[in-house]
Structure 1
Amino acid sequence: MYPEIALASASPRRRELLQQIAVPFSLVQVDVDESHQGNESPQLYVTRLAHAKAQAGAEKIQFALPVLGADTIVVVDQHILGKPADQADFSRMMQLLSGRCHQVMTAVALVGKGSSDSCCVSTEVCFRELSAADITAYWQTGEPRDKAGGYGIQGQGGRFVSHISGSYSAVVGLPLCETDFLLRNWQEQA
């Protein structure tokens, strides 16, 4: 059904999501500078990173397969929350998110020989009020350390989410509907 692709991501969640929709893929390791550039909007930033990862993967495998790259960020008050540097940074993030709604943006890019396509999906996620004890206990699970915004909706962090508006799979790390569209479109043009 889908073309075989390479996935330029170390995320186990993205691998699981691709397996969920039966996409045949292999992994390609890439190293991309993820620094935010100047006045770049959150949407431009996350889309640039997804494309850079896919492009780096395509070059690494010499365009043998189309390469899928993705990136996810958490945005509150137009500020990008990356992975927490330490417990203090994590606590600051959780205090910003507590009792409020924020945006989770996931961009997906598909790059092959002579062509590329991408999209960005934004989902609104709302948190319940968090106590200091909630925040400390969650940090101690170890889960927040490698997560954008300091939480994983698919794990223990999901207990803080009162509701979402948009794509759940995009919050996990890969919007399935849009990824399906990119792959089908790619196949039709091949």
Structure 2
Amino acid sequence: MVLASGSPRRRDLLARIGVVPARILPPEIDERPRPQELPRQLAGRLSQEKARAVMAGEPQALVLAADTVVGVGRRILPKAETEAQARDCLALLSGRRHRVYTGVALGLPDGRLLTRVVESVVTFQRLTAAQVEAYIASGEWRGKAGGYTIQESAEAFVRFLSGSHSNVVGLPLHETAQLLRGIGWLRP
């Protein structure tokens, strides 16, 4: 199996279900949303594009790709790269419900692409200025969809979670395991 992701979180999550990729090949694709694209659609499209990009160079491999998108309504939050972006994300998420979508794509050697998009609903408490500044100082937000990572200190902000916790981390394990079992690659 080839994992089409450089995310150490995804590798750790896969290890929980006994999957260790033979190779890790993060593809270079344009991750910008298209005009009018919704968060769910973006997560699905990006996971498929990542899988196809790696499948092109690894035609005999089983390829697993994923992409996680945080959305508030129709709005897609960025993978925060600057403190200003992270602050904007946290301000928008403070005291509100948002959705986390992860698209999972499994490319097969025969060229087929099996896909799922998983949705989790998360509600943050209302954040104080001190909480925001402490989180910004932690640096945990850097490169993370929506400017936070639930498996570290931001988990203390979560008032409510409906759906898959591993989805919010970056790979829905139940659905990923089902895809792998469905093709006979992972035992029941």
Q: Normalised by the shorter chain, which TM-score bucket?
A: over 0.9
CA contact (8 A) 2:106 2:113 kept: yes
Structure-to-structure mapping, 1:39-58, within 5 angstroms: 39-58=36-55
The residue number in structure 1 matching 2:165 is 168
Aligned residues: 183
**2:101 matches 1:105:** yes
Q: What amino acid is the match of 2:168?
A: V
Cα separation, 1, equivalents of 2:174 and 2:119: 13
1:133 paired to 2:143: no
Amino acid at match of 2:74: Q
Q: Which residue of 2 aligns with 1:21?
A: 17
Matched, 1:83 2:73: no
- Residue 73, structure 1, aligned to residue 69, structure 2: yes
- State the 1:186 CA deviation: 2.1
Match of 1:6 among 2, 25, 49: 2
**What SS does the corresponding residue of 2:141 show, helix, strand or coil?**
helix
After superposition, residues 141-152 of structure 1 pair within 5 angstroms as: 141-152=138-149
Distance in 2, matches of 1:99 and 1:41, equals 22
Match of 2:111 among 97, 114, 122: 114
1:138-159 deviations in whole A, cap 9, x for unaligned?
Answer: 0111110111000000011111
Unaligned runs of at least 5 residues, structure 1: none
**CA separation in 2, counterparts of 1:187 and 1:58?**
19
What runs of 5+ residues in structure 2 fail to find an aligned partner? none
Q: 1:60: Cα distance to partner?
A: 1.9
Matched-pair contact (CA < 8 Å) for 2:65–2:106: yes
TM-score, reference length from structure 2: 0.93
Shift of 1:187: 2.3
Where 2:12 maps in the other structure, the secondary structure is helix
C-alpha distance after superposition, 1:75-107 (max 9, x if no partner): 012101011242122111111111111000011
Q: Runs in 1 of length 4+ with deviation above 3 angstroms? A: none
